[in-house]
Amino acid sequence: MNELIILDLASAAIRTAFLVAAPALILGLIVGVGISLFQAVTSIQDPTLSFIPKILAIMLVILVAFPWMISVMSDFTTNLFNNINLYIR
């Protein structure tokens, strides 16, 4: 197997993982910063306050973006199976 093919496959796998995880991670970051600002402004220092809104926001974004996530993963898997003869030589 050529090193170029291995690097291409690895970069495609990492790119796919980033694309699938990005919506949930970005929204979790935004909600976390918003809750942290709210806690700083109101002087509420309860560490468990940020968990529920982050969990709900991430569940919502996964629910909304799930068809797109499945499409990205199935495109990667289809491409992998279509080019499997290049990878096992």
Q: For residue range 47-77, what is the model confidence (pLDDT) as tens digits?
A: 888 899 999 999 999 999 999 999 999 999 9
The shares of helix, strand and coil residues in the chain, as percent rounded to the nearest 5, are 90, 0, 10
| Phi, psi at 88, each rounded to 5° | -105, 5
**Residue, of 13 and 5, whose pLDDT is higher:** 13
What is the CA 38 to chain-centroid distance, rounded?
26
Indicate yes or no: pTM above 0.85. Answer: no
Supply the range of the domain harboring residue 8.
3-87
Looking at residue 46, what is its pLDDT? Answer: 83
Using CA atoms, how far residue 12 sits from 6, 7, 28, 41, in Å, is: 10, 8, 24, 43
Number of domains present in the structure of the chain: 1
pLDDT band at 1 (very low <50, low <70, confident <90, very high): low
